[in-house]
Amino acid sequence: MPAAHASRVRALYRRILLLHRVLPPDLKALGDQYVKDEFRRHKTVGSEEARRFLQEWEAYAAVLWQQSKENRQNSTEKPCFGIALPEEKLNDFRDEQIGQLQELMREATKPNRQFSISESRKPEF
């Protein structure tokens, strides 16, 4: 892995973990663990998959930054994080990715979970 690429990956990883600090504690814990697992899982992927991986996580970081900014400006309202996953994007996922997404949804919505995520509406995946 070229040094510039490794540096970019580390910077993105740190940025995401810093952005997670604005999340409620339960979502922060779940998000931090998911990010750590995903970055570890993608350490040895090919260049094309690495490019897509970084692109998606950079988009995630940008959305989270924007939402945290909006939540600070609307401090009287309940914070809102996340976006709906478009069906066309979901159709591009491999079976393994669908399985990971289902596992994440189960963890985030199970009744006796270690994270107490309050749900005011249907989860957006």
Confidence of residue 65 (pLDDT cuts 50, 70, 90): very high
For residue 117, pLDDT over 80 is answered with no
Which are the contacts of 67, defined by CB distance < 8 A and separation ≥ 6?
Answer: 80, 81, 82
> Is the CB of residue 38 less than 8 Å from the CB of residue 80?
no
- pLDDT of 89 reads 84
What average pLDDT does this structure show over 77-102? 84
What average pLDDT does this structure show over 109-116? 57
**What is the separation, in whole angstroms, between the first and last Cα of the chain?**
32
> Residue type at 88?
E
Q: Is the dihedral of CA 64, 67, 72, 73 positive or negative?
A: positive
Confidence of residue 9 (pLDDT cuts 50, 70, 90): very high
For residue 31, pLDDT over 70 is answered with yes
